[in-house]
Chains A and B, each alone.
Chain A
Amino acid sequence: MQILYFPGCTLSTKAKGLDITTREALAALGVHLCELPRWTCCGTVFPLAQDNYIQMVAAARLLATSASLGENRLVTVCSFCYHVLKRVNHAIKNNREAKEKINNYLEENYSGEVQPVHPLEIIRNDYGFNRLREKLGDSLKGLRVACYYGCMLVRPPGEMNFGNPDNPTIMEEFIAALGGVPVDFAFKTKCCGSYQILNTPDLVADRTKEILASAAASGAQAIITSCPLCQFNLDRQQEKVADKKNFRQIPVLYFTQLLAAVFKVPLDKMGIEEHYVDPRAVLKEI
Protein backbone atom coordinates (compact mmCIF):
# COMPACT_ATOMS: atom_id res chain seq x y z
CA MET A 1 0.00 0.00 0.00
CA GLN A 2 1.29 3.45 -0.88
CA ILE A 3 0.15 6.63 0.83
CA LEU A 4 1.13 10.23 0.27
CA TYR A 5 3.26 11.58 3.12
CA PHE A 6 3.94 15.07 4.41
CA PRO A 7 6.92 15.05 6.81
CA GLY A 8 6.93 18.74 7.75
CA CYS A 9 9.94 20.97 8.32
CA THR A 10 11.03 19.85 11.80
CA LEU A 11 11.26 16.22 10.68
CA SER A 12 13.95 17.30 8.22
CA THR A 13 16.11 18.83 10.94
CA LYS A 14 15.69 18.39 14.69
CA ALA A 15 13.33 15.40 14.48
CA LYS A 16 14.95 13.28 11.80
CA GLY A 17 14.50 10.28 14.08
CA LEU A 18 10.72 10.69 13.89
CA ASP A 19 10.82 10.88 10.10
CA ILE A 20 13.22 7.95 9.56
CA THR A 21 11.48 5.63 12.00
CA THR A 22 8.02 6.52 10.66
CA ARG A 23 9.08 5.58 7.15
CA GLU A 24 10.97 2.43 8.23
CA ALA A 25 8.33 1.16 10.64
CA LEU A 26 5.40 1.67 8.29
CA ALA A 27 7.39 0.11 5.43
CA ALA A 28 7.90 -2.98 7.60
CA LEU A 29 4.10 -3.14 7.88
CA GLY A 30 3.72 -2.89 4.11
CA VAL A 31 2.78 0.79 4.07
CA HIS A 32 5.07 2.77 1.78
CA LEU A 33 5.08 6.52 2.25
CA CYS A 34 5.50 8.63 -0.89
CA GLU A 35 6.67 12.10 -0.03
CA LEU A 36 4.47 14.96 -1.18
CA PRO A 37 6.34 16.91 -3.87
CA ARG A 38 7.31 20.56 -3.29
CA TRP A 39 5.95 20.67 0.23
CA THR A 40 6.44 23.61 2.57
CA CYS A 41 5.94 24.22 6.27
CA CYS A 42 2.30 23.75 7.27
CA GLY A 43 2.29 27.00 9.26
CA THR A 44 2.41 25.19 12.65
CA VAL A 45 -0.58 26.97 14.20
CA PHE A 46 -4.25 27.37 13.34
CA PRO A 47 -5.58 30.93 13.45
CA LEU A 48 -8.81 31.52 15.29
CA ALA A 49 -9.27 35.12 14.14
CA GLN A 50 -12.02 35.29 11.53
CA ASP A 51 -10.05 37.68 9.31
CA ASN A 52 -6.83 35.69 9.22
CA TYR A 53 -7.27 33.24 6.37
CA ILE A 54 -3.73 33.89 5.12
CA GLN A 55 -2.37 31.73 7.94
CA MET A 56 -4.38 28.82 6.56
CA VAL A 57 -2.95 29.09 3.05
CA ALA A 58 0.19 27.00 3.60
CA ALA A 59 -1.75 24.01 4.91
CA ALA A 60 -4.48 24.44 2.28
CA ARG A 61 -1.84 24.36 -0.45
CA LEU A 62 -0.51 21.04 0.85
CA LEU A 63 -4.01 19.57 0.81
CA ALA A 64 -4.81 21.00 -2.64
CA THR A 65 -1.56 19.56 -4.01
CA SER A 66 -2.51 16.17 -2.62
CA ALA A 67 -5.92 16.40 -4.27
CA SER A 68 -4.35 17.37 -7.59
CA LEU A 69 -2.33 14.14 -7.44
CA GLY A 70 -5.54 12.18 -7.15
CA GLU A 71 -4.97 11.26 -3.50
CA ASN A 72 -7.69 11.21 -0.86
CA ARG A 73 -5.40 10.77 2.17
CA LEU A 74 -2.30 12.60 3.38
CA VAL A 75 -0.29 11.05 6.19
CA THR A 76 1.58 13.23 8.65
CA VAL A 77 3.09 12.26 12.00
CA CYS A 78 4.04 15.56 13.65
CA SER A 79 1.25 16.55 16.03
CA PHE A 80 1.43 20.20 14.98
CA CYS A 81 1.19 19.36 11.28
CA TYR A 82 -1.64 16.92 11.89
CA HIS A 83 -3.51 19.53 13.95
CA VAL A 84 -3.17 22.31 11.40
CA LEU A 85 -4.00 20.15 8.39
CA LYS A 86 -7.12 18.75 10.05
CA ARG A 87 -8.41 22.12 11.22
CA VAL A 88 -7.74 23.89 7.93
CA ASN A 89 -9.46 21.05 6.09
CA HIS A 90 -12.41 21.32 8.45
CA ALA A 91 -12.58 25.08 7.88
CA ILE A 92 -12.59 24.66 4.10
CA LYS A 93 -15.32 22.03 4.29
CA ASN A 94 -17.54 23.97 6.69
CA ASN A 95 -16.83 27.68 6.14
CA ARG A 96 -17.85 28.94 2.73
CA GLU A 97 -15.96 32.21 3.08
CA ALA A 98 -12.76 30.43 4.12
CA LYS A 99 -13.04 28.03 1.19
CA GLU A 100 -13.67 30.82 -1.30
CA LYS A 101 -10.94 33.20 -0.11
CA ILE A 102 -8.28 30.52 0.27
CA ASN A 103 -9.06 28.98 -3.13
CA ASN A 104 -9.04 32.44 -4.74
CA TYR A 105 -5.60 33.08 -3.29
CA LEU A 106 -4.24 29.69 -4.28
CA GLU A 107 -6.04 29.68 -7.62
CA GLU A 108 -7.30 26.22 -6.78
CA ASN A 109 -10.69 24.57 -6.40
CA TYR A 110 -10.12 22.50 -3.27
CA SER A 111 -13.17 21.43 -1.26
CA GLY A 112 -11.71 19.44 1.63
CA GLU A 113 -11.75 16.07 -0.12
CA VAL A 114 -8.33 14.98 1.19
CA GLN A 115 -8.28 13.42 4.65
CA PRO A 116 -5.24 14.14 6.84
CA VAL A 117 -4.41 10.93 8.70
CA HIS A 118 -2.00 10.00 11.48
CA PRO A 119 0.20 6.87 11.27
CA LEU A 120 -1.51 5.46 14.38
CA GLU A 121 -4.80 5.65 12.47
CA ILE A 122 -3.16 3.86 9.51
CA ILE A 123 -1.88 1.13 11.81
CA ARG A 124 -5.25 0.75 13.56
CA ASN A 125 -7.57 1.06 10.57
CA ASP A 126 -5.57 -0.27 7.64
CA TYR A 127 -3.23 -2.79 9.27
CA GLY A 128 -5.15 -3.61 12.45
CA PHE A 129 -4.05 -3.82 16.07
CA ASN A 130 -5.16 -7.46 16.23
CA ARG A 131 -2.92 -8.28 13.30
CA LEU A 132 -0.11 -6.33 14.97
CA ARG A 133 -0.64 -8.38 18.14
CA GLU A 134 -0.55 -11.66 16.22
CA LYS A 135 2.66 -10.69 14.45
CA LEU A 136 4.53 -8.80 17.21
CA GLY A 137 2.60 -9.36 20.42
CA ASP A 138 5.62 -10.23 22.61
CA SER A 139 7.97 -7.60 21.30
CA LEU A 140 7.95 -5.04 24.11
CA LYS A 141 8.23 -7.76 26.80
CA GLY A 142 6.02 -5.95 29.28
CA LEU A 143 7.77 -2.57 28.94
CA ARG A 144 5.80 -0.01 30.95
CA VAL A 145 5.04 2.93 28.66
CA ALA A 146 3.36 6.24 29.43
CA CYS A 147 1.52 7.43 26.32
CA TYR A 148 1.75 11.21 26.11
CA TYR A 149 -0.62 12.84 23.62
CA GLY A 150 -0.14 16.48 24.54
CA CYS A 151 -2.77 18.98 23.43
CA MET A 152 -2.53 19.16 19.64
CA LEU A 153 -3.65 15.66 18.73
CA VAL A 154 -6.91 15.65 20.64
CA ARG A 155 -8.29 19.20 20.88
CA PRO A 156 -10.70 20.55 19.75
CA PRO A 157 -12.43 17.16 19.71
CA GLY A 158 -15.06 18.04 17.12
CA GLU A 159 -12.39 18.78 14.54
CA MET A 160 -9.57 16.44 15.52
CA ASN A 161 -11.66 13.27 16.06
CA PHE A 162 -8.73 11.49 17.67
CA GLY A 163 -10.76 9.81 20.41
CA ASN A 164 -11.91 11.00 23.81
CA PRO A 165 -10.09 14.32 24.32
CA ASP A 166 -9.69 13.66 28.05
CA ASN A 167 -8.82 9.98 27.78
CA PRO A 168 -7.74 8.95 24.27
CA THR A 169 -6.66 5.34 23.94
CA ILE A 170 -5.15 4.77 20.50
CA MET A 171 -1.53 4.91 21.75
CA GLU A 172 -2.37 2.57 24.63
CA GLU A 173 -3.95 0.09 22.21
CA PHE A 174 -0.81 0.32 20.06
CA ILE A 175 1.47 -0.38 23.03
CA ALA A 176 -0.70 -3.25 24.28
CA ALA A 177 -0.71 -4.81 20.80
CA LEU A 178 3.09 -4.87 20.89
CA GLY A 179 3.18 -6.57 24.29
CA GLY A 180 3.90 -3.48 26.34
CA VAL A 181 2.03 -2.27 29.39
CA PRO A 182 0.48 1.18 28.91
CA VAL A 183 0.49 2.96 32.26
CA ASP A 184 -2.32 5.31 33.14
CA PHE A 185 -1.26 8.77 34.29
CA ALA A 186 -3.20 11.93 34.90
CA PHE A 187 -1.39 14.33 32.60
CA LYS A 188 -1.35 12.50 29.29
CA THR A 189 -3.24 15.24 27.45
CA LYS A 190 -1.94 18.21 29.43
CA CYS A 191 0.00 20.74 27.35
CA CYS A 192 3.75 20.69 27.94
CA GLY A 193 3.99 24.43 27.43
CA SER A 194 4.86 24.18 23.74
CA TYR A 195 6.48 27.29 22.16
CA GLN A 196 6.39 29.06 25.51
CA ILE A 197 9.85 27.49 25.91
CA LEU A 198 11.02 30.56 24.00
CA ASN A 199 9.78 33.30 26.32
CA THR A 200 8.37 31.66 29.46
CA PRO A 201 10.68 28.69 30.13
CA ASP A 202 9.60 28.52 33.79
CA LEU A 203 6.07 27.71 32.65
CA VAL A 204 7.41 24.83 30.54
CA ALA A 205 9.54 23.68 33.48
CA ASP A 206 6.50 23.57 35.78
CA ARG A 207 4.31 21.80 33.23
CA THR A 208 6.87 19.19 32.25
CA LYS A 209 7.77 18.52 35.88
CA GLU A 210 4.14 17.60 36.58
CA ILE A 211 3.88 15.40 33.50
CA LEU A 212 7.18 13.61 34.18
CA ALA A 213 6.42 13.14 37.88
CA SER A 214 3.01 11.72 37.07
CA ALA A 215 4.46 9.28 34.53
CA ALA A 216 7.21 8.25 36.94
CA ALA A 217 4.74 7.72 39.77
CA SER A 218 2.78 5.41 37.49
CA GLY A 219 5.89 3.29 37.01
CA ALA A 220 6.65 4.30 33.42
CA GLN A 221 9.97 3.08 32.00
CA ALA A 222 9.53 5.22 28.88
CA ILE A 223 7.26 7.96 27.56
CA ILE A 224 6.11 8.00 23.96
CA THR A 225 4.90 10.97 21.97
CA SER A 226 4.18 12.02 18.41
CA CYS A 227 5.29 15.65 18.70
CA PRO A 228 8.87 16.92 18.26
CA LEU A 229 8.23 19.90 20.51
CA CYS A 230 6.70 17.77 23.27
CA GLN A 231 9.65 15.40 22.96
CA PHE A 232 12.07 18.33 23.22
CA ASN A 233 10.35 19.90 26.23
CA LEU A 234 9.87 16.67 28.18
CA ASP A 235 13.35 15.39 27.35
CA ARG A 236 15.45 18.52 27.81
CA GLN A 237 13.73 19.69 30.98
CA GLN A 238 15.07 16.56 32.66
CA GLU A 239 18.52 18.08 32.31
CA LYS A 240 17.47 20.91 34.60
CA VAL A 241 16.26 18.58 37.34
CA ALA A 242 18.85 15.85 36.93
CA ASP A 243 20.49 16.73 40.25
CA LYS A 244 17.23 16.78 42.18
CA LYS A 245 16.83 14.11 44.82
CA ASN A 246 14.46 11.25 44.03
CA PHE A 247 14.21 12.28 40.39
CA ARG A 248 14.20 9.33 38.01
CA GLN A 249 15.03 10.09 34.40
CA ILE A 250 12.64 8.65 31.85
CA PRO A 251 13.55 8.42 28.15
CA VAL A 252 11.07 10.25 25.90
CA LEU A 253 10.69 8.41 22.60
CA TYR A 254 8.64 8.82 19.48
CA PHE A 255 6.17 5.96 19.22
CA THR A 256 7.67 5.15 15.81
CA GLN A 257 11.10 4.66 17.42
CA LEU A 258 9.60 1.88 19.57
CA LEU A 259 8.02 0.26 16.52
CA ALA A 260 11.26 0.63 14.55
CA ALA A 261 13.14 -1.05 17.41
CA VAL A 262 10.66 -3.94 17.23
CA PHE A 263 11.60 -4.31 13.56
CA LYS A 264 15.31 -4.21 14.50
CA VAL A 265 16.08 -0.93 12.76
CA PRO A 266 19.68 -0.16 13.87
CA LEU A 267 19.83 2.26 16.80
CA ASP A 268 22.23 4.54 14.94
CA LYS A 269 19.56 5.11 12.31
CA MET A 270 16.86 6.20 14.75
CA GLY A 271 18.01 9.73 15.48
CA ILE A 272 18.51 9.05 19.17
CA GLU A 273 21.61 11.27 19.26
CA GLU A 274 19.17 14.20 19.59
CA HIS A 275 17.83 12.79 22.87
CA TYR A 276 19.13 14.13 26.18
CA VAL A 277 17.95 11.13 28.22
CA ASP A 278 19.58 8.22 26.44
CA PRO A 279 16.90 5.72 25.38
CA ARG A 280 19.34 3.01 24.34
CA ALA A 281 18.93 0.97 27.49
CA VAL A 282 15.20 0.71 26.79
CA LEU A 283 15.52 0.13 23.05
CA LYS A 284 18.19 -2.56 23.38
CA GLU A 285 15.85 -4.69 25.49
CA ILE A 286 13.31 -4.87 22.65
Chain B
Amino acid sequence: MGRIMEALRVINLRKGNEVLVMENIPTEVKVEVPQMALTSGFRKLSA
Protein backbone atom coordinates (compact mmCIF):
# COMPACT_ATOMS: atom_id res chain seq x y z
CA MET B 1 0.00 0.00 0.00
CA GLY B 2 2.86 2.37 0.86
CA ARG B 3 4.45 1.84 -2.53
CA ILE B 4 1.16 2.51 -4.32
CA MET B 5 0.65 5.72 -2.39
CA GLU B 6 4.21 6.80 -3.05
CA ALA B 7 3.80 6.06 -6.76
CA LEU B 8 0.68 8.22 -6.95
CA ARG B 9 2.38 10.99 -5.06
CA VAL B 10 5.49 10.89 -7.29
CA ILE B 11 3.38 10.87 -10.47
CA ASN B 12 1.49 13.90 -9.19
CA LEU B 13 4.66 15.76 -8.23
CA ARG B 14 6.37 15.01 -11.54
CA LYS B 15 3.44 16.64 -13.29
CA GLY B 16 4.32 19.77 -11.33
CA ASN B 17 1.42 19.59 -8.89
CA GLU B 18 2.87 20.77 -5.61
CA VAL B 19 1.07 20.00 -2.38
CA LEU B 20 3.39 21.85 -0.03
CA VAL B 21 4.27 25.38 -1.09
CA MET B 22 6.78 27.12 1.11
CA GLU B 23 5.09 30.49 0.89
CA ASN B 24 1.88 29.00 2.28
CA ILE B 25 3.46 27.67 5.47
CA PRO B 26 2.69 30.06 8.35
CA THR B 27 5.81 31.86 9.57
CA GLU B 28 5.32 30.76 13.16
CA VAL B 29 5.20 27.13 12.02
CA LYS B 30 8.38 27.52 9.94
CA VAL B 31 10.15 29.02 12.93
CA GLU B 32 9.00 26.46 15.49
CA VAL B 33 8.97 23.06 13.76
CA PRO B 34 12.00 20.79 13.90
CA GLN B 35 13.75 21.15 10.55
CA MET B 36 13.26 17.45 9.85
CA ALA B 37 9.61 18.34 9.20
CA LEU B 38 10.59 20.87 6.54
CA THR B 39 13.13 18.56 4.88
CA SER B 40 10.80 15.59 4.79
CA GLY B 41 7.77 17.66 3.82
CA PHE B 42 9.53 19.29 0.90
CA ARG B 43 10.97 15.96 -0.25
CA LYS B 44 7.59 14.24 -0.22
CA LEU B 45 5.17 17.02 -1.11
CA SER B 46 7.00 19.60 -3.24
CA ALA B 47 7.87 19.40 -6.90
Q: Which residues of A contact B (CB under 8 A)?
A: 8-10, 13-15, 41, 43-45, 47-49, 52, 55, 78, 80, 156, 194-199, 201, 228-229, 232, 236
Contact = CB atoms under 8 A, between A and B. Distances in A.
B24 interface: yes
Contact of A199 (B6, B20, B35, B39): B20
A166 B32 CA distance: 31
B30 to A, nearest CB: 8
Given A49-B6, A199-B20, A10 B35 contact: yes
Interface in B2-37: 2-3, 6-7, 10, 19-20, 24-25, 29, 32-37
A199 B25 contact: yes
A199 B41 contact: yes
A90 to B, nearest CB: 15
28 contacts: A8-B36, A9-B36, A13-B34, A13-B35, A15-B34, A43-B39, A44-B36, A44-B43, A45-B40, A47-B6, A48-B2, A48-B7, A49-B6, A55-B43, A80-B36, A156-B2, A194-B37, A195-B36, A195-B41, A195-B45, A197-B37, A198-B41, A198-B45, A199-B19, A199-B20, A199-B24, A228-B36, A232-B34
Interface residues of B, number: 23
Interface core residue of B3, B37, B39 (most chain A CB under 10 Å): B37
Given A14-B35, A48-B3, A49-B7, A197 B29 contact: yes
Given A45-B44, A195-B40, A229-B34, 17 more contacts: A9-B39, A10-B35, A10-B36, A14-B33, A15-B34, A41-B39, A44-B36, A44-B39, A45-B40, A47-B6, A80-B36, A80-B40, A194-B37, A197-B29, A198-B38, A229-B33, A232-B32
Nearest to A78: B36
Nearest to A41: B39
Interface of B: 2-3, 6-7, 10, 19-20, 24-25, 29, 32-41, 43-45
A14 B30 CA distance: 12
Given A198-B20, A199-B20, A45 B43 contact: yes
A44 B34 contact: no
B44 to A, nearest CB: 6
Q: Which 8 A-B pairs have the closest CB atoms?
A: A195-B41, A48-B6, A44-B40, A14-B34, A10-B34, A228-B34, A44-B39, A195-B37
Contacts of A10: 34-36
A242 to B, nearest CB: 16
A48 B7 CA distance: 8
Given A48-B3, A49-B6, A55-B43, A198 B32 contact: no
